[in-house]
Chains A and B, each alone.
Chain A
Amino acid sequence: MKEKLDILLLDDEAIVGNRLKPALKKVGCDVELFEDPKKALNRIREKKFDIVITDIMMPSVNGIQILEEVRKKSDITKVIIITGYATVALAREAMDKGAFDMIAKPFTPDNLRSVIAKAADSLGYKKIIAKA
């Protein structure tokens, strides 16, 4: 088994990535950062990530499309959706389409880390849970 989780983090706000990348590295994750959803899509088609974290409202491509694209590529990848304005309809749609969890802005790095820990748990990474 790998020592580190492969994570793709997509948010059109640069600050989100800049702050989260070090926060996630601390708990033993390899994080690839994207601001442009189209570039992220290309990367998703190339590589199977353990976890994809994506904002839902972005210009041109939205989080649901990312989710669908991830599902096409891999069944085991966990998708965590970040949303700025959570509605029941949106949550249902995301869950129906196989999202692992949703996290509403504003959140703390620990909020995200505990969701990631849960995802890692279901993927079988005991080590990360211990660290978190």
Chain B
Amino acid sequence: MTNTLEFKSSFINNSEKKTALDTEGRDLLARPRFSLRLHLLLVFILFSFLSMAIIIGSVIAISSIDKKMHFVQTSERYLFEIAQARRWEKNYFLYDTNLEDAVQSAGNAKTFLSQNLKKFITVLSAEETAGMIEHLEKYRSLLQDLQDLTVLKKNGIENTEKKNKIETSLRKHGAEMVKVAAALVYKEQNSMNAMLHLIQRIPIYCFAVVLLLTIFLARFLVKRLIRPLNLLIESTQRIAKGDFSPVPPICKYRGEFTAVEVAINQMCRELKSREVAMVESHKLRAIGTLTAGVAHELNNPLNNIMLTAHAMLEDHNNLSEDGLLEMINDLINEADKSRSIIRNLLDFSRESESVSEPLDLGALVGETIKLTLNQAKVSGVKIETQIQPDLPRIRGDKQQLKQVFLNLILNALDAVEKEGNIKINVKKADSPKFLAVQVEDNGCGIPSHILPNIFDPFFTTKGPGKGTGLGLSVSHGIITMHRGQISIETEEGKYTRFTVTLPFRTVPAVLNKT
């Protein structure tokens, strides 16, 4: 009950404190609370109960042994009294003395028995007790008879026959009486011994149980502590690699780790938004690189338009109709050229949300190459393109993928010297259901010691102000998001080959052509 109350109040607190919490965070916090503190408390309570049970058990066992000891003493006393009576009885028959004492002892036994009747009844059955009492009563009455005979004898009346008869009966009941009492003592002693034996063993059993329980609980607690920690470590490693999806709930219930999860999720969200900003800034940088090429590209048609317009202005009187038409057509064509250049640049720089659509990978790569052709022309680099025909379509974000291939081609352009060669290949990958795009240059290659870092954000080999160090990192992120892979083969001074593999759709391409 207290749990639910606590859960409610802290939920309200949390939601007041962090109004900006996302849905995952709220889901995480909305689970019933079962914290580590509660775990420890439960374990502690369990152990307290256990030790209390052990203590109570021992007290009960010891007090029952105490009782048994008392009972054994009692029965021994009883046995002593009747044994005494029997000794006096024997003396009487042998030497004719001590009959009074025998009667006295039997009386003592009787008194003692009736005093402790309750104790006897708890140990013996009612019939046994009744039998005991009966034998004692009989014995006593026989002794009484014997006393009467003795009185008669003093008065001169001898009744040997009766005396003998009494003697036989007396012996029989006496023996029976002693036998029952001795058996009782023996039985009680045995039971007491058994109990003592048990009590000696109890600490060992308890120790074993406590040990097993401790091991089990320790393992349980460690699992509750270590498993979430390991999961968190895994998550952080995953995040370090650029996967910013939220952490899955690591425990079934809400606890101390929930706060960590919520914090990590918040961090992921921040990182994600920063990454978007980083990608944007990288895009701007790439646009800067492209601008040099684009400006040249754009100035050409502009120049043509200008020259043509001026020619028309100067010579419009002397121009033939054909000459005029030619110039007008030139104007239109050059204006068209400018438009398509600007459209290409805008396509790349347009702020766009990630949209997944069926794409013709070959065409997409072709468009990207077009963007870089001028840059290549300036650096005197030859770009060879091989696109396998009739490839199945892939699904993905056109702008993002264009950016990846643009990054790879611009990198290749940076890597090659003048008169270098870039080969671009679009084909089916070795693994089924994947397409591969290879961008290979015969440039400087990548030294093996920096190879592990090339996908790291902000890692760049270019001079200050030349590269953001984000190109490959961003490309890697984009390709991973498309469930593809990006790999690299390189030999220093010889070549570098980037291979991007992307899964294609299994639906026949014909159906997608709409």
Contact A15 B299 (CB under 8 A): no
- Please indicate the chain A residues that have their CB under 8 angstroms from the CB of B293 in the complex: 85
Indicate with 1 or 0, residue by residue over A72-85, a CB within 8 angstroms of chain B CB atoms.
Answer: 00000000000011
Nearest Cβ distance between residue B409 and chain A, in whole angstroms? 18
Residues of A within 8 A of B308 (CB): 15, 19
If A13-B300, A15-B304 touch, whether A22 touches B311 (CB-CB below 8 Å) is: yes
B450 at the interface (CB under 8 A from A): no
| 8 A Cβ contacts from A60-111 to B | 60, 62, 84-85, 87, 104-110
Task: Say if the beta carbon of B296 comes within 8 Å of chain A.
Answer: yes
Q: Tell me if B303 counts as interface (CB < 8 A to partner A).
A: yes
A109 CB contact (under 8 Å) in B299, B302, B304, B307: B307
A-to-B contact residues, CB < 8 Å: 13, 15-16, 19-20, 22-23, 26, 57, 59-60, 62, 84-85, 87, 104-110
Contact of A57 among B303, B306, B315, B377 (CB under 8 A): B377
Are B299 and A85 in contact, with the CB atoms below 8 A?
Answer: yes
CA distance A13 to B308 in the complex (A): 13
Report B-chain residues with C-beta under 8 Å of the C-beta of A16: 303-304, 307
Instruction: Verify if B310 is at the interface (C-beta below 8 Å from A).
Output: yes
> Quick one: given A57-B378, A85-B299, are A106 and B305 in contact (CB under 8 Å)?
yes
| B311 neighbours in A (Cβ, 8 Å) | 19, 22-23, 109
Q: Tally chain B residues at the interface, Cβ within 8 Å.
A: 23
Contact with A along B308-338 (1 / 0, CB 8 A): 1011001100000000000000100010000
CB within 8 Å for A106 and B303 given contacts A19-B308, A57-B378, A84-B296: yes
CA distance A97 to B302 in the complex (A): 28
Q: Please tell me if the beta carbons of A85 and B292 are within 8 angstroms of each other in the complex.
A: yes
Distance between Cα atoms of A59 and B303 in the complex (Å): 18
Closest Cβ of chain A: how far from B402's Cβ, in Å? 23
B377 in contact with A105 (CB, 8 Å):
no
Q: A132 CA to B299 CA in the complex, in Å?
A: 26
The answer to the question of B295 belonging to the interface, with a C-beta cut-off of 8 Å to chain A, is yes
Residues on B with beta carbons closer than 8 Å to the beta carbon of A26: 314
Chain A residue at smallest Cβ distance from B298: A84
Q: A-facing mask of B368-383, CB < 8 A → 1, else 0? A: 0000000001101000
**How distant is the Cα of A63 from the Cα of B288 in the complex, in angstroms?**
24
Partner of A85 from B296, B306, B310, B330 at Cβ < 8 Å: B296
**From residue A27, how far is it (CB to closest CB) to chain B in Å?**
11
A sample of 9 inter-chain contacts (CB < 8 A) reads: A15-B307, A19-B310, A20-B307, A23-B311, A57-B377, A84-B300, A84-B303, A87-B292, A110-B310
Q: Distance in Å from the Cβ of A59 to the closest Cβ of chain B?
A: 6
In contact, B307 and A84 (Cβ under 8 angstroms):
no
Q: Check B315–A106 contact: CB distance below 8 A.
A: no
Task: Verify B303–A105 contact, CB threshold 8 A.
Answer: yes
**Inter-subunit contact B303/A109 (CB<8 Å):** no
- Which of A13, A60, A84, A104 has the most CB atoms of chain B within a 10 A radius of its CB? A84
A-B pairs with beta carbons under 8 A, tally = 64
- In the bound complex, residues from chain B placing their C-beta under 8 Å from that of A20 are 307
In the bound complex, what is the Cα–Cα distance between A23 and B327 (angstroms)?
Answer: 14
The answer on a CB contact under 8 Å between B334 and A106 is no
Q: B307 and A108: CB pair below 8 A?
A: yes
Closest to B378 in A: A57
CB distance from A7 to the nearest CB of B (A): 16
User: Which residues of chain B are near A59, meaning CB under 8 Å?
Assistant: 377
Out of A19, A57, A62, A85, name the residue touching B307 (CB < 8 Å). A19
In the complex, what's the smallest C-beta–C-beta distance from B297 to chain A, in angstroms?
8
A contact residues around B378 at 8 Å (CB): 57
Instruction: Tell me, rounded to whole Å, the shortest Cβ–Cβ distance linking B500 to chain A.
Output: 29
Tell me, rounded to whole Å, the shortest Cβ–Cβ distance linking A21 to chain B. Answer: 10
Contact, CB under 8 Å: A23 / B304: no
Q: Which residues of A contact B304 (CB under 8 A)?
A: 13, 15-16, 19
Known A19-B311, A22-B315; contact A107-B295, beta-carbon cutoff 8 A = no
Among the listed A15, A62, A104, A107, which residue makes an inter-chain contact with B334, where contact means beta carbons less than 8 Å apart?
A15
Chain B stretch 266-306: residues in CB contact (< 8 A) with chain A = 292-293, 295-297, 299-300, 302-306
Best-surrounded residue of B302, B304, B330 (most CB of chain A within 10 A): B304
A106 touches B314 (CB 8 A): no
Chain B residue with minimal CB distance to A108?
B310
Of B303, B305, B314, B315, the most chain A CB neighbours within 10 A belong to B303
Query: Which residues of chain B in 212-241 are interfacial with respect to chain A, using CB atoms and an 8 Å cutoff?
Result: none
Q: Nearest A residue to B302 by beta-carbon distance? A: A106
Write the nearest CB–CB distance from B354 to chain A, whole angstroms.
33
Tell me if B377 and A107 are in contact (CB < 8 A): no
In the bound complex, CA of A20 to CA of B311 (Å): 8
- The complex places the Cα of A23 from the Cα of B295 at a distance, in Å, of 26
Which residues of the other chain, B, contact A57 by a CB distance below 8 angstroms?
A: 296, 377-378
Give bound CA distance, A107 to B305, whole Å. Answer: 10
Given A15-B307, A15-B308, answer yes or no on A109-B314 (Cβ-Cβ < 8 Å). yes
* B306 CB contact (under 8 Å) in A13, A62, A87, A106: A106
In the bound complex, CA of A33 to CA of B200 (Å): 120
- Please give me the 6 A-B residue pairs with the lowest Cβ-Cβ distance, nearest first: A84-B296, A105-B303, A19-B307, A106-B303, A105-B299, A85-B296
Residue numbers in B under 8 Å from A108 (CB-CB): 306-307, 310
Look across to chain B and name the residue whose beta carbon is closest to the beta carbon of A58. B377
Bound state CA distance, A4 and B296, in angstroms? 33
Given contact pairs A26-B314, A105-B303, A109-B314, enumerate 9 new A-B contacts (beta carbons under 8 Å).
Answer: A13-B304, A23-B310, A23-B311, A57-B296, A59-B377, A84-B300, A84-B303, A85-B296, A105-B299
- A15 vs B302: C-alpha distance in the bound complex, in angstroms? 11
CB neighbours of A87 from chain B (8 A):
292
Whether the Cβ atoms of A85 and B295 lie closer than 8 Å is: yes
Smallest CB–CB gap between B287 and chain A, Å? 15
Minimum distance in angstroms from A52 CB to a CB of chain B: 18
The contact of B299 among A19, A22, A62, A106, by CB within 8 Å, is A106
